[in-house]
């Protein structure tokens, strides 16, 4: 196995922890006090000329508060005349009505992360993923100008961002075709908005950014990304757009994209100014040059693109580190994905690298399309799932719910780690990335075996070995998460105790603050691991590896008992001898376990 299942646990210590001892969670206190604006979903595209193996890389995550789970969706065959329900309900941010549109007769196999809640849209929801034709999709916020949002009909009809993402996974054979599919669907059936959205599609040759605008006017536009480009959608954007786009193979749009702007007085063709779609139809970026707020400096896409380009040649692992970057990976990040898009790869070996929560606190694992499924621990559970508190569970789902939720485990790791990121983030990251280094090696060895099976006319064995690999690696990742969460919780209890909430209770109420609703309050922000001065970002994958050192085996249950009292404020006297900054981790334990890897 990649990660040893022996009961022994490893202590990891870092010089960083001695320099930044535990206390009353100074990092968290700073985060709450400065109250940065909420982060949003992100997509990062790196063209094949800029990667170390000639692949296209597409990474990112969605921004949703709900539960998330994995699904490998098989190819389907539907009888002629089959329809599929799309659109939004009257509970959506912009209320709408559901509708049915024709479904195609044969859909493609794809892998995705599903989730249950965003802006009142009906589940299951998706932002895309990867299909068997090596087409990847990411979905990213892109707010339309207020006047356009105000035009949205009530009720609205059309396909939602999730509908479009899923239908692209089911139908597209290239990134260009993904744009054509979305454009045709909006042209025919309309678009149901939450305020403005974008997609970033990619295949082994190129990428495409598509903006679907709010307002019910059927406005959309798309721009091709070449093999030598870096694009960061944070938010999604398109700048200068040609007026003769119908004759330009690098652009596509709805027929009214120019005329509507002119009719509203948002762009004057006689002004001599370029037709800048971001300026005409969008809103300013959350940050811009000259601002000094550290929380918004990284939300200016052109600067982020320059940062990534400055790194030089990009590897698969480096893209994982970018998606993990704590400037945007936090409690608002629902998951992490990196699509590794390569030419000449068999459909069953098309691979999406997936982390079950924000990658700041969960490792990436390869999920190739040829695997038959994922372990139940990575399927739907009731934690943070919409409407789970309104009724009892259906008995048909009870065995699934009885399994451990990998999503919940890694959320716990995120909450503990981000409580004191100056002390905890780097050792946790070191453990995650050491694990990923092993997984990358093992996955490419599995691909080598698969190609050998093809040469031996035994390709029927490939799904079996891919399924075994996915199950092993995902369960090893869960094992890693459980060990790390015990370690950081034990250390937190011992050093500072578990911080209790201090919110006000209603006048006359006798209960304690921890019984108040946990929902995010106005003026506060997500639990996050980024604090100013934490490190220089972006960084290379594995850059913290040298900080971890194995010390000894520890009885975790004994440490938990010594950690703290009922209020979470006691400090265990066993640390009084001057040992500070011990984190229960697995960094080098993973490397020691390499020899135990299953053949």
CA distance 163 to 550: 48
> What average pLDDT does range 517-523 have in this prediction?
88
Let me know if 459 is exposed, middle or buried by CB neighbors in 10 A (0-12, 13-18, 19+). middle
CA distance 234 to 346: 32
Peptide bond into 584 cis (omega under 30): no
CA distance 100 to 87: 8
Q: Give the percent of the chain with pLDDT over 70.
A: 83
Q: Are strands 220-225 and 207-212 parallel, antiparallel or unpaired?
A: antiparallel
**Whole-number mean pLDDT of the chain?**
87
In this predicted structure, what is the pLDDT of residue 289? Answer: 62
Q: pLDDT tens, 553-563?
A: 334 454 445 44
Predicted confidence band of residue 536 (pLDDT cuts 50, 70, 90): confident
Strand (E) or helix (H) holding 404: none
Cα separation values, 567 from 512, 561, 581, Å:
11, 14, 22
Contact 274, 195 (CB under 8 A): no
Q: Give the percent of the chain with pLDDT over 90.
A: 77
In this predicted structure, what is the pLDDT of residue 387? Answer: 86
Domains and CATH numbers, the chain: 40-404 (3.60.60.10)
Q: pLDDT tens, 442-499?
A: 999 999 999 999 999 999 999 999 999 999 999 999 999 999 999 999 989 999 999 9
In this predicted structure, what is the pLDDT of residue 40? Answer: 84
N residues, the chain: 599
Name, of 20-24, 176-180, 388-392, the range with top average pLDDT. Answer: 176-180
CA distance 95 to 156: 6
Q: pLDDT tens, 244-292?
A: 999 999 999 999 999 999 999 999 999 999 999 999 999 998 876 665 5
> What average pLDDT does range 138-156 have in this prediction?
97
């Amino acid at each position: 196995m990649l990660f040893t299942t022996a009961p022994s646990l490893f202590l990891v210590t870092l010089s960083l922890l001695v320099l930044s001892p535990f206390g009353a969670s100074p990092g968290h206190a700073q985060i709450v006090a400065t109250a940065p604006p909420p982060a949003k979903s992100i997509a990062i595209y790196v063209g094949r000329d800029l990667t170390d193996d000639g692949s296209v890389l597409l990474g990112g995550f969605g921004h949703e508060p709900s539960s998330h789970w994995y699904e490998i969706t098989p190819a389907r065959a539907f009888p002629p005349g089959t329809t599929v329900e799309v659109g939004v309900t009257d509970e959506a941010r912009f209320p709408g009505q559901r509708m049915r549109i024709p479904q195609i007769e044969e859909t493609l196999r794809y892998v995705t992360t599903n989730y249950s809640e965003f802006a009142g849209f009906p589940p299951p929801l998706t932002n895309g993923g990867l299909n068997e034709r090596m087409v990847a999709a990411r979905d990213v916020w892109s707010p339309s100008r207020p006047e356009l949002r105000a035009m949205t009909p009530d009720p609205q009809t059309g396909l939602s961002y999730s509908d479009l993402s899923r239908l692209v996974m089911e139908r597209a054979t290239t990134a260009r075709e993904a744009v054509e599919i979305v454009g045709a669907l909006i042209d025919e059936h309309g678009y149901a908005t939450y305020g403005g959205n974008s997609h970033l599609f990619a295949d082994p040759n190129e990428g495409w950014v598509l903006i679907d605008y709010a307002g019910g006017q059927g406005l959309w536009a798309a721009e091709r990304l070449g093999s030598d480009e870096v694009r960061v959608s944070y938010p999604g954007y398109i700048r200068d757009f040609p007026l003769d786009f119908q004759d330009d193979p690098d652009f596509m749009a709805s027929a009214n994209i120019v005329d509507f702007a002119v009719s509203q007085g948002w762009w004057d063709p006689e002004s001599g100014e370029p037709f800048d779609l971001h300026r005409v139809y969008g809103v300013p970026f959350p940050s811009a040059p000259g601002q000094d707020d550290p929380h918004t400096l990284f939300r200016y896409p052109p600067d982020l693109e320059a940062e990534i380009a400055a790194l030089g040649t990009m590897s698969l692992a480096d893209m994982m580190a970018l998606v993990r970057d704590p400037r945007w990976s936090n409690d608002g990040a629902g998951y992490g994905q990196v699509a590794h898009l390569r030419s000449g790869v068999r459909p069953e070996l098309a691979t999406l690298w997936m982390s079950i929560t924000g990658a700041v606190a969960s490792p990436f694992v390869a999920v190739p399309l040829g695997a038959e499924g994922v372990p139940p621990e990575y399927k739907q559970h009731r934690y943070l799932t919409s409407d789970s508190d309104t009724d009892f569970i259906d008995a048909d789902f009870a065995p699934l719910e009885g399994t451990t939720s990998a999503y919940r485990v890694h959320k716990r790791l995120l909450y503990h780690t981000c409580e004191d990121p100056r002390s905890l983030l780097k050792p946790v990251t070191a453990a995650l990335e050491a694990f990923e280094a092993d997984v990358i090696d093992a996955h490419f060895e599995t691909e080598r075996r698969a190609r050998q099976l093809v040469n031996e006319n035994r390709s029927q064995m490939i799904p079996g070995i891919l399924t075994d690999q996915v199950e092993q690696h995902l369960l090893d990742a869960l094992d890693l998460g459980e060990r790390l969460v015990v370690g950081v919780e034990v250390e937190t209890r011992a050093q500072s105790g578990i911080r209790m909430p201090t919110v006000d209770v209603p006048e006359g109420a006798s209960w304690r603050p921890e019984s108040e609703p946990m929902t995010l309050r106005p003026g506060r922000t997500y639990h996050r691991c980024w604090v100013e001065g934490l490190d220089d970002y972006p960084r290379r994958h594995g850059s913290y590896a040298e900080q971890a050192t194995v010390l000894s085996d520890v009885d975790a249950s004994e440490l938990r008992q010594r950690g703290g009292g009922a209020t979470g404020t006691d400090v265990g006297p066993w640390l009084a001898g001057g040992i500070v900054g011990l984190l229960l981790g697995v960094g080098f334990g993973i490397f020691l376990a390499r020899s135990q890897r299953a053949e």
